[in-house]
Amino acid sequence: MIFSLFKKKQFFSAKEKEQIVEAIRIAEKETSGEIRVYVESKNPLVNTLERAAEIFAQLKMHQTAQRNAVLLYVATGHRELALFADEGIYQKVGKEFWENAVKEMIAHFQGENISHGMAECVKNIGHVLKEKFPYDASTDKNELPDDIVFGK
């Protein structure tokens, strides 16, 4: 029998995880858009955006009715991050919005305030989703889970 003597270090505390998940829940209450967060230790690909696109597809985020899902991807060990937005929301806000959102997250990360930076990014994405894809009680449903997905 093989077992590890050491527990795998958790990147976020329970409180930090809840802070991020709560930001997703609050953001999604006001929009038909969907936000997911994916965190892994190392990016197995060379290009961070390509990895985010791969995860986006694996999580079936392209299957939202209005093509308005956004993935926040972080590779902690490689210190990489990316935002990947489906065509519906990407076209409505443009490249500059996403570049600025990444810059803001990097500023939080440099201050070692990673979970707060991620939660703030989710809130900002939620605001733009609310503006472009407002919540409609008659048709909206939560199409994707709100939890953080952890890779290897």
Domain membership flag for residue 5: no
Domain membership flag for residue 6: no
Q: What are the tens digits of pLDDT across the range 53-104?
A: 999 999 999 999 899 999 999 998 888 999 999 999 999 998 999 999 999 8
Domain membership flag for residue 28: yes
Q: Return the ∠ at Cα 133 (arms to 85 and 28), rounded to 5°.
A: 75
Average of per-residue pLDDT values in the chain: 88
How many domains is the chain partitioned into structurally?
1
Higher pLDDT, 112 or 106: 106
CA 13, distance to chain mean position in Å, is 17
Q: How far apart are CA 45 and CA 20, in angstroms?
A: 25
Task: Look at 25-34, 82-91, 135-144 and tell me which has the smallest mean pLDDT.
Answer: 135-144
Provide the CATH number for the domain around residue 88: 3.10.310.50
Which parts of the chain are beta strand (E)?
34-40, 69-75, 80-85, 148-150
Domain membership flag for residue 110: yes
Domain membership flag for residue 113: yes
Domain that holds residue 64: 14-134+144-150
Higher pLDDT, 116 or 8: 116
DSSP 8-state secondary structure symbol assigned to residue 38: E
Domain membership flag for residue 96: yes
| pLDDT grade for 5, boundaries at 50, 70 and 90 | very low
Q: What residues contact residue 97 under an 8 Å CB cut-off, 6+ apart?
A: 128
Can you give the pLDDT at residue 131? 95
Q: How many CA atoms lie within 13 A of 8 on its CB side?
A: 9
Domain membership flag for residue 1: no
The amino acid at residue 139 is T
